């Protein structure tokens, strides 16, 4: 039960941090002629996947020890 609560808390924290922010326009039609580029980084997603896989492995190992 403690593990389930911890996993739920981590899932909530991750979902709160995955916000997408739109870039402001000039007000006329919502599109700029010279838009600013938004930085996109795939490293964070890779770290999340690696952390989830490691957590799954640890959970699987701890459940196997209890049986």
- Whether residue 60 lies inside any domain: the answer is yes
C-alpha to C-alpha distances, 25 to 40, 44, 57, 67, nearest whole angstrom? 19, 27, 46, 59
CA-to-CA distance for 61 and 50, rounded, in angstroms?
A: 17
Asked if residue 47 has pLDDT above 90, the reply is: no
Secondary structure tally for the chain: helices H, strands E: 2, 0
Count of domains forming the chain: 1
- Write down the pTM of the prediction: 0.40
What is the pLDDT, as a whole number, of residue 43?
77
Q: Is residue 31 within a helix (H) or strand (E), and if so which, with residue range?
A: none
* Structure confidence at residue 55 as a pLDDT band (50, 70, 90): very high
User: If you ran DSSP here, which 8-state letter would residue 26 be given?
Assistant: -
Question: Residue 51: which domain range?
Answer: 43-67
- Whether residue 26 lies inside any domain: the answer is no
Residue in the block written with tokens 């995955």:
18
């Amino acid at each position: 039960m403690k593990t389930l609560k911890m996993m739920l808390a981590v899932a909530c924290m991750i979902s709160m941090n995955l916000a997408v922010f739109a870039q402001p326009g000039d007000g006329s039609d919502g599109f700029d002629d010279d838009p600013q580029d938004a930085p996109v980084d795939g490293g964070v997603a890779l770290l999340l996947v690696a952390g989830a896989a490691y957590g799954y492995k640890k959970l699987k190992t701890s459940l196997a020890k209890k049986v």
